[in-house]
Amino acid sequence: MRAAILNGPGDVNVETVPDPGLADSTSVVVEVSHTAICGSDLHLYHGLHGSPGIHLGHEFVGRVVAVGDDVRTLTLDDRVLVSAVIGCGRCAQCLGRNPVRCTSGPRVFGNGLDLPGGQAELVAVPAADTSCRLLPHPVTPEQAVMLTDILPTGYYGARNADIRPGDTVAVLGLGPVGIFALQSAQVMGAARVLAVDTVPERLAHAERLGAIPVDATDGAGTVAAILDHTAGRGADSVIEAVGIDQTISDALYATRAGGTVSVIGANLGMEFAFPMGLAFLRDLTFRIGLCPVQSTWDELIPLVATGRLAPEQVVTHRMALSDATEAYRLFEAREDGVLKVLLDPTR
């Protein structure tokens, strides 16, 4: 089969590799119909971690073409979506749909560790009963791809932010995940979302969705702008969707006393300079975590199915898997108004 392979920083090619088989009796093999490039793929692309020969991609949906003997809930030809994050499938946390709290630890597709990724014609999916969900009517495959990682992640950011109806919520970073956090905050009843970024197109996008755009490059910066919009009090909740130290710090300084900071931007640093005195005097709650994708599906699938959320709207580019090299280049360069790129493995 063909798969997008990363061999070094900036070096992605579509190569022919052996077809995957069933890893064990709880696995299925999925023939991928739609897959996407994620902002976190760029961490690998930039060479931040992992070794050469990485099978990229953790966002994918498709058709079941092989089924292990112990799989109970799936059969051949089922159309499924697959969580980017999976667990052992047997522990109480996995059965309760939280692979991040799996007693064996979470695994992520296509991150260069142990699971080959989904920007490929075929993928082996372990622990299929807890890793997959049947494509629910009338959710489309493009919507379903958004449900494998980034819509859940944005939603989880909002869930972790303790939003109550009437609240003012700030979202820092308006990439696709930030946009989904923004929309999730609206679903949870936020009266106002302050949407912070520096890119005019992203700010305009947020404004079209009903948020108040805040250009972080104006005036005294993000914190001052949020305080200004809240009579000096700070936002009730701040969702950080960038993942760099500066924006996490901004989030802490822009939150009201008693409020919550929720970080969904991946940050693997081990020495963030946390302002403990500020947090103590302001009585803050701080949450950060990898999203347990499966735990969000019961809430998100109906929201997508009924049209309250239309996550496919972030897709700006649809390309062939065979064009993966160009797709990565364009996505990394942020050219052509790119927000989200889908790849078609049949081409």
Of 19, 298, 326, 335, the residue at the interface with a copy of itself (CB under 8 A) is 298
61 touches 144 (CB < 8 A) = yes
259 touches 283 (CB < 8 A) = no
Report CA-CA distances (Å) from 61 to 84, 109, 312: 10, 13, 14
Binding-site residue total for a copy of itself (CB under 8 A)? 66
The pattern of x and - marking residues 132 through 171 that bind a copy of itself according to CB under 8 A reads --------------------------------xxxxx---
Of 147 and 342, the one with the shorter C-beta distance to a copy of itself is 147
Q: Determine the interface stretch with a copy of itself among 113-121, 145-153, 220-228, 293-301 (rule: CB under 8 A).
A: 293-301
Of 32 and 144, the one with the shorter C-beta distance to a copy of itself is 144
275 scored as a contact of a copy of itself (CB under 8 A): yes
Please report, to the nearest 10 degrees, the dihedral formed by the alpha carbons of residues 89, 90, 94, 100 taken in order: -70
Which residues have a Cβ under 8 Å from the Cβ of 120 and sit 6 or more positions away? 1, 2, 3, 4, 17, 32, 35, 55, 57, 321, 345
Of 229, 256, 317, 340, the residue at the interface with a copy of itself (CB under 8 A) is 256
Query: What three-state secondary structure class fits 295?
Result: helix
Of 98, 119, 143, 247, the residue at the interface with a copy of itself (CB under 8 A) is 98
Return the amino acid letter for 195: A
Alpha carbon distance 260, 24 (integer Å): 42
Q: Which of residues 167-196 bind a copy of itself (CB under 8 A)?
A: 167-168, 184, 187-189, 191-192
Which residues have a Cβ under 8 Å from the Cβ of 270 and sit 6 or more positions away? none
Of 35 and 131, the one with the shorter C-beta distance to a copy of itself is 131
100 scored as a contact of a copy of itself (CB under 8 A): yes
Of 233, 319, 325, 338, the residue at the interface with a copy of itself (CB under 8 A) is 233
- Give the residue carrying structure tokens 């199915």: 305
Of 24, 302, 337, 346, the residue at the interface with a copy of itself (CB under 8 A) is 302
Nearest-approach distance from CB 114 to a copy of itself, in angstroms: 15
Of 114, 276, 333, 336, the residue at the interface with a copy of itself (CB under 8 A) is 276
Which residues have a Cβ under 8 Å from the Cβ of 171 and sit 6 or more positions away? 178, 181, 182, 185, 193, 194, 195, 196, 206, 211, 238, 239, 241
CA angle 291, 292, 293 (to 5 degrees): 90
208 scored as a contact of a copy of itself (CB under 8 A): no
Of 55 and 133, the one with the shorter C-beta distance to a copy of itself is 133
263 scored as a contact of a copy of itself (CB under 8 A): yes
Nearest-approach distance from CB 128 to a copy of itself, in angstroms: 13
Burial of 79 (0-12, 13-18, 19+ CB in 10 A): middle
Of 16 and 306, the one with the shorter C-beta distance to a copy of itself is 306
Pairing of strands 85-86, 107-108: antiparallel
End-to-end CA distance of the chain: 12
65 scored as a contact of a copy of itself (CB under 8 A): no
* Assigned token pair, 82: 């697959």
What is the binding site for a copy of itself (CB under 8 A)? 70, 72-73, 90, 92-93, 95-98, 100-101, 103, 106, 164-168, 184, 187-189, 191-192, 233, 248, 256-258, 263, 266-290, 292, 298-303, 305-306, 308
